[in-house]
């Protein structure tokens, strides 16, 4: 897994540093999304808060992770699929927040539905976040 981390960083022309390895590793070793707080708790003992902010920002810009808006106003981050490139994301899938275990899932196979918007509205991007009970908690 540590090898994968370095490869992903290289593929995105990012220099290999401790914080990037650690934080990217956190995403790879578990399925759900992570809130900034989670990351800070699990990586922030080794790294400065500012470094965590800047690392996440870099990963988002490079298309390595994407953000997920949630109702409680705490941004979550999750790994992108390979087709996301620098400055251009393609994460057109639905997200699911379990109200029991509080895990946020990327439902990669559930495509964002089409919407019939009123006349004059042109949408470039649609975010869908479902809330409920996940397969492990029911």
Chain residues binding Zn ion by CB under 5 A are 98, 100-101, 134, 137
In the bound state with a copy of itself, the residue whose beta carbon lies nearer, of 4 and 127, is 127
- Alpha-carbon span 75 to 21, nearest angstrom: 21
Q: Which of 70, 98, 93 is nearest to 79 (CA)?
A: 93
Q: Is 69 in the site for DNA (CB under 7 A)?
A: no
| Token pair for 27 | 């995403």
Q: Is 75 in the site for DNA (CB under 7 A)?
A: yes
| Token pair for 102 | 């509080």
In the bound state with DNA, the residue whose beta carbon lies nearer, of 55 and 98, is 55
User: Taking CB under 7 A as the rule, which mask of x and - marks residues 38-67 in contact with DNA?
Assistant: --------xxxxxx-xxx--x---------
- For residue 120, the minimal CB distance to DNA (Å) is 30
User: Taking CB under 8 A as the rule, which mask of x and - marks residues 31-60 in contact with a copy of itself?
Assistant: ------------------------------
**Long-range contacts, stretch 119-128, CB < 8 angstroms, 24+ apart:** 126/92, 127/69, 127/95, 128/94, 128/95
Q: Is 107 in the site for a copy of itself (CB under 8 A)?
A: yes
Phi, psi (5° rounding) for residue 104?
A: -105, 125
């Amino acid at each position: 897994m540590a090898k994968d981390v370095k490869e992903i960083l290289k593929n995105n022309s990012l220099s290999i540093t401790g914080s990037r390895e650690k934080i990217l590793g956190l995403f790879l070793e578990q399925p759900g999304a992570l809130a900034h707080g989670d990351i800070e708790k699990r990586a922030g003992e080794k790294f400065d808060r500012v470094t965590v902010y800047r690392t996440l920002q870099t990963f988002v810009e490079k298309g390595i992770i994407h953000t997920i808006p949630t109702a409680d106003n705490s941004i979550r981050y999750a790994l992108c699929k390979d087709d996301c490139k620098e400055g251009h994301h393609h994460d057109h899938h639905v997200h699911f927040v379990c109200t029991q275990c509080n895990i946020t899932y990327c439902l990669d196979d559930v495509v964002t539905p089409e919407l019939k918007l009123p006349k004059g509205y042109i949408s470039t991007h649609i975010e869908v976040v479902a809330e409920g009970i996940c397969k492990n908690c029911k």
